[in-house]
């Protein structure tokens, strides 16, 4: 039987933006979560995918279609991808898949064009993402974007001076946030993706969750409500990082000089989703 779009839900966004949390809310206890299957260092079937792949939506790419089809059929899995399997109620048949992924933003249009799936695209204030990544000593992986000729031609060429001039850690992570979000931001008007801001989910959890789940044809069940009340295991455990004000206003995440550096990068990329909140 062919899969329906509601059977496969992709929760996509940047790392440190709340995708694990939102994925758990959507999955509840009756949908299998596949955790970051496009992590090329962890999943052998996608070992040659690269760190931040861009797939032009108009290209068939048959070498990848078969592997993605196997993934969407539930045939690809290991300890990494199945780390959330214990959330499932063993007495119930899984009602579909939730693919939680932070490395597929450049693939979303291609996935939407070639497979029956529903995309939930989550963003979080860049300052909060930058601060979290700096604290976690994350690499930026900017070279993974610049090494893709087609991606540079299609999207990045106007911003090369800004990208290559980024020197400080904050500047480079600001560039990374822009690189991760530029492609889906430019493409989402052409697709029926469900859009969500992390800050809205934190500030109005019940209302925002009901909106998202309603668009997905899902109910806010007790297991989903429980997940909504949990902060992701991937988030900081410090109470000072968990106040509503700190989580809903990214300007609290960085000192003033760092905010100025990041704002200059965001302005250069003309990404205005947080215009007025910088």
- Say if 92 falls within a structural domain: yes
* Residue 179 belongs to some domain of the structure: yes
Range of the domain at 51: 5-269
Pair 117, 192: CB distance under 8 Å: no
CATH of the domain at 180: 3.40.50
Question: Is 274 within a domain?
Answer: no
Encoded tokens for 179: 């690189």
Give the whole-number percent of the chain exceeding pLDDT 70: 90
Condensed to tens digits (0 to 9), the pLDDT of residues 120-177 reads 999 999 999 999 999 999 999 999 999 999 999 999 999 999 999 999 999 999 999 9
pLDDT digits (tens, 9 = 90+) for 186-234: 999 999 999 999 999 999 999 999 999 999 999 999 999 999 998 654 4
In a domain, 276, yes or no: no
CA–CA gap between residue 5 and residue 225 (Å, rounded): 23
What secondary structure letter does DSSP report for 92? S
CA 197/CA 165 separation, integer angstroms: 29
Between CA 104 and CA 61 the distance in angstroms is: 15
What is the three-class DSSP state of 97? strand
How many residues does the structure list for the chain?
278
Instruction: Let me know if residue 182 belongs to a domain.
Output: yes
User: Could you read off the pLDDT of 53-72 as tens digits, one per residue?
Assistant: 999 999 999 999 999 999 99
The reply to whether 62 falls in a domain is: yes
Token pair for 197: 């801001």
Does residue 95 lie within any of the structural domains? Answer: yes
Q: What is the pLDDT of residue 247?
A: 65
Query: Which one of 72-86, 236-250, 259-273 scores highest in mean pLDDT?
Result: 259-273
Are 175 and 140 in contact, with CB atoms under 8 Å apart?
Answer: yes
- The number of distinct structural domains making up the chain is 1
CB distance 124 to 15 below 8 Å? no
pLDDT value of position 46: 98
Give the tokens for residue 27. Answer: 């999955």
Please state, rounded to an integer, the average pLDDT across all residues of the chain: 91
pLDDT attached to residue 245: 56
Contact 181, 52 (CB under 8 A): no
Task: Give the pLDDT band of residue 236 (cuts 50, 70, 90).
Answer: very low
pLDDT at residue 20 tops 80: yes
Q: Is residue 184 part of a domain?
A: yes
CB 172 within 8 A of CB 166: yes
> What does the pLDDT read at residue 89?
75
């Amino acid at each position: 039987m062919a899969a329906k779009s509601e059977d496969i839900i992709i929760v996509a966004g940047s790392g440190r933006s709340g995708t694990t949390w939102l994925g758990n809310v959507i999955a509840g206890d009756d949908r299998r979560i596949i955790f970051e299957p496009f992590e090329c260092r962890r999943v052998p079937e996608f070992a040659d995918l690269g760190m931040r792949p861009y797939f032009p939506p108009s290209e068939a790419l048959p070498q990848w279609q078969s592997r993605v089809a196997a993934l969407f059929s539930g045939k690809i899995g290991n300890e990494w991808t199945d780390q959330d399997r214990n959330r499932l109620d063993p007495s119930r048949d899984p009602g579909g898949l939730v693919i939680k992924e932070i490395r597929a933003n450049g693939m979303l249009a291609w996935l939407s064009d070639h497979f029956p799936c529903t995309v939930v695209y989550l963003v979080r204030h860049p300052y909060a993402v930058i601060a979290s990544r700096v604290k976690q000593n994350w690499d930026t992986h900017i070279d993974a974007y610049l090494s893709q000729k087609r991606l540079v031609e299609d999207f990045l060429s106007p911003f090369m001076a800004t990208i290559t001039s980024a020197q400080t850690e904050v500047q480079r992570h600001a560039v990374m946030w822009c690189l991760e979000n530029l492609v889906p931001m430019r493409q989402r008007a052409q697709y029926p993706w469900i859009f969500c801001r992390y800050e809205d989910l934190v500030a109005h959890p019940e209302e925002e969750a009901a909106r998202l789940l309603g668009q997905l044809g899902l109910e806010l069940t007790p297991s989903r409500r429980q997940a909504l009340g949990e902060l992701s295991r991937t988030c900081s455990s410090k109470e000072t990082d968990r106040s509503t004000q700190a989580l809903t206003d990214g300007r609290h995440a960085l000192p003033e000089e760092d905010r100025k550096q990041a704002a200059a990068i965001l302005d250069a990329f003309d990404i205005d989703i947080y215009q007025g909140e910088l």
